[in-house]
Amino acid sequence: MTNLETLVEAIHDGASVALAPDYSGCAMAAVRALVRRGARDLRLIAVPQAGFQADMLIGAGCVGSVEAAAITLGEYGFAPRFTDAVKNGRITLRDSTCPAIHAGLQAAEKGVPFMPLRGILGSDLLTHRDDWKVIENPFSPDDAIVALPAIRPDVALFHAASADRHGNVWIGVRRELMLMAHAAHRTLVTVETVVDDDLLADEARAAGTIPALYVSAIAEVREGAWPIGLAGRYPADAAHLAEYARLARTAAGFERYLDEHVRGRASAA
């Protein structure tokens, strides 16, 4: 077990960082810690889309590139800092599609160099991704298929409900977090609570548990997903998210948000 500030120190400037979507396990407290640290040139990988985490990191100047199927605040609208950074060419875009990101991570999970995926042919995504190749199906003539390189993030960063003292992390049904942990070099997790028993001892819980062998560091952070919700624990703070979406429409408003809720919350994480 470590603390939040030490946990994010392991995310070096320039690292590729896989992030979960807003409906899964968002490590918002860790994102705020990265902003406070002044992280730079992070290469975000949204699995497969990202929301508030990505928008805040982009707005705070922590991000060099984004690989994503979408960056959006969902019902709170377009992601304003992302949109602004795109228009002004401040970040490198690697536009993708949901299953392409999953497939790249699955290749890394299997330790193979690429994964083929149906679809995509004829999409302008392919035109702009020089790392995606069209190959012939070796088992059938005249059957082109897209080959996607393995995605091996330097870091997978997410928040989960609980961990045990052996370093196992319980994610329940949110198995995209398992995929992220399998694929990444290092997996950094914030959790609501640390439990005293062994999560792998009970089969019902073990099925939804990432074994410690994939987990590099864990920090206990209460309400570590706030203002995003955590399924089964707490709902999203809708008023706060709406306030973020409103303020982040302008650079000045976003700075005000950071001063009030990120830089000013150093002790409260």
Query: In angstroms, rounded to a whole number, what is the distance separating the alpha carbons of residues 101 and 103?
Result: 5
- Give min distance, CB of 37 to another protein, in A: 27
H helical segments located in 122-258? 124-128, 176-183, 203-206, 238-247, 251-257
> By CB under 8 A, what part of segment 161-200 binds another protein?
173-179
- Based on the shown chain and the rule CB under 8 A, indicate whether residue 153 belongs to the binding site for another protein: no
Q: Which stretch binds another protein (CB under 8 A): 4-12, 20-28, 147-155, 194-202?
A: 20-28
CB 24 within 8 A of CB 3: no
Q: Which of 11, 17, 19, 24 binds another protein (CB under 8 A)?
A: 24
Q: Which of 7, 57, 62, 120 binds another protein (CB under 8 A)?
A: 120
Q: Which of 1, 112, 121, 251 binds another protein (CB under 8 A)?
A: 121
Q: Which of 2, 61, 64, 74 binds another protein (CB under 8 A)?
A: 74
- When the beta carbons of 34 and 103 are compared against another protein, the nearer one is 103
- Give min distance, CB of 111 to another protein, in A: 18
- Based on the shown chain and the rule CB under 8 A, indicate whether residue 203 belongs to the binding site for another protein: no
Q: Which of 29, 44, 81, 97 binds another protein (CB under 8 A)?
A: 97
CA distances to 69, 94, 135, 146, 150 from 123, in Å: 13, 14, 16, 11, 20
CB 217 within 8 A of CB 40: no
- Based on the shown chain and the rule CB under 8 A, indicate whether residue 106 belongs to the binding site for another protein: yes
> By CB under 8 A, what part of segment 125-144 binds another protein?
125, 128, 142-144
- When the beta carbons of 96 and 209 are compared against another protein, the nearer one is 96
Q: How many CB atoms lie within 10 A of CB 207?
A: 10
- Based on the shown chain and the rule CB under 8 A, indicate whether residue 119 belongs to the binding site for another protein: yes
- Based on the shown chain and the rule CB under 8 A, indicate whether residue 72 belongs to the binding site for another protein: yes
**Cβ neighbours of residue 46 closer than 8 Å, sequence gap 6 or more:** 18, 19, 21, 54, 66, 67, 68, 69, 70, 71, 101
Interstrand relation of 209-210 and 186-195 (parallel, antiparallel or unpaired): unpaired
Query: Which two tokens mark 60?
Result: 């705070």
Query: In angstroms, rounded to a whole number, what is the distance separating the alpha carbons of residues 66 and 130?
Result: 15
Q: What angle do CA 196, 200, 202 make, to 5 degrees?
A: 90
Q: Which stretch binds another protein (CB under 8 A): 82-90, 197-205, 211-219, 254-262?
A: 82-90
Query: In angstroms, rounded to a whole number, what is the distance separating the alpha carbons of residues 79 and 56?
Result: 9
Query: Which two tokens mark 101?
Result: 């990101």
Which x/- pattern over 41-60 shows residues binding another protein (rule: CB under 8 A)?
------xxx-----------
CB 100 within 8 A of CB 69: yes
- Based on the shown chain and the rule CB under 8 A, indicate whether residue 86 belongs to the binding site for another protein: yes
- Give min distance, CB of 144 to another protein, in A: 7
- When the beta carbons of 67 and 192 are compared against another protein, the nearer one is 67
